[in-house]
Amino acid sequence: MASTWYVQRSSGKTGWIDTTWSLGVGGVGFIAAVWPLEPGWPHWRQIIVAVLAASWCLRLGLYIAERNRAAVDDPRYRNLIIQWGSDASRRMFWFLQSQALVGVILAVSIALSAHNPNPKWRMQDLIGLAVLIVAIAGEAIADHQLRAFKNDPANHNAVCDVGLWRWSRHPNYFFEWLTWVAYPIIAIDLSGHNPLGWSALAAPLCMYWVLVHVSGIPPLEEHMLRSRGDLFRTYQKRTRAFFPLPVFNSPSRRRVKE
C-alpha cells in the first residue's frame, strides 16, 4: 500500500485505493492458497478456495475500477483528506498501511482455510463454500442494483432504496463481511486436528470492525448526510445500517425521492 500512497499523493486521486487493496488481498490470498506446503499437486480444497478468492477479488476490483473511470475520487477518502488538513499526506500513508495490515489478516484467513489438513470432504466445507458463493453473488447483486439506480436519470440526487438496499443501507458491505465469515468455517476443524484454524476468525471480526466502525459506514454516511440531508435521515430511520433485516415500528417504507 506504500505504492498506492505514492500514486495517490502524486495524482491527488483517491479513487484507486480500494481497487489496489482488493486486487492485492485477492492476489496474495490466491498465492497463499495454492502454495505447496508439501510435494505434489495442490489439494482439492486449496484449488476451490483459491478459485473463489480470485473470483471475489477480480469481481470487486474490476467493478471498483470501472466505477472510478467516471469518478476519480472516493468521497470517504476525500473527506478524510479535508479533515486532516496539512497533515493529510502523513496520515494517509499510515492509514493505508493499516489497510495493508488488515489485508494480511484476510490473506492468512484464506490460507488457513485452503490448507486445512483434514483430507476429507466435510459438511463444514460445503457450508463454507455455500456462504462464500452467496456472499460474492450478493455483493455483486447489490452493486448492480446501486449502479442501475444511479444510471436512471429519474433518480438524480435520490437515495437507492430498492432491492437489497430496501433492507440494508449498506448491503454491499454486509456481503463483503459475509465473504470473510466463510473462511473460518472451512478452516476450523472441530476434531481438534487444526488448532490454527481458529485464527481465521480474526478475518470476519476485523472486517466487521473496519466496515462498521472505521472506513466503511461512518465516512460514507457522513457524506450522504451532507449531500442528501433529511431525506437520508429518513432512510436511516427506516432501514438498518448493516444486517439486511426489517426495522419494526419504523416510518412508512414509502419510496424516498431525495
Spans of all domains in the chain: 2-238
Q: Which residues of the chain have pLDDT under 50?
A: 252-258
Q: Letter for the amino acid at 36?
A: P
Which tens digits make up the pLDDT trace of 132-178?
Answer: 999 999 999 999 999 999 999 999 889 999 999 999 999 999 999 99
Q: By the 8 A CB rule, do 12 and 90 touch?
A: no
12 DSSP assignment: -
Which tens digits make up the pLDDT trace of 16-38?
Answer: 788 888 999 999 999 999 998 87
Q: Residue 258: what pLDDT?
A: 31
Q: Residue 253: what pLDDT?
A: 44
Q: Letter for the amino acid at 168?
A: S
Q: Residue 64: what pLDDT?
A: 87
Q: Which three cell numbers stand for residue 125?
A: 466445507
User: Which residues, listed in sequence order, are joined to residue 168 by a DSSP beta bridge?
Assistant: 240
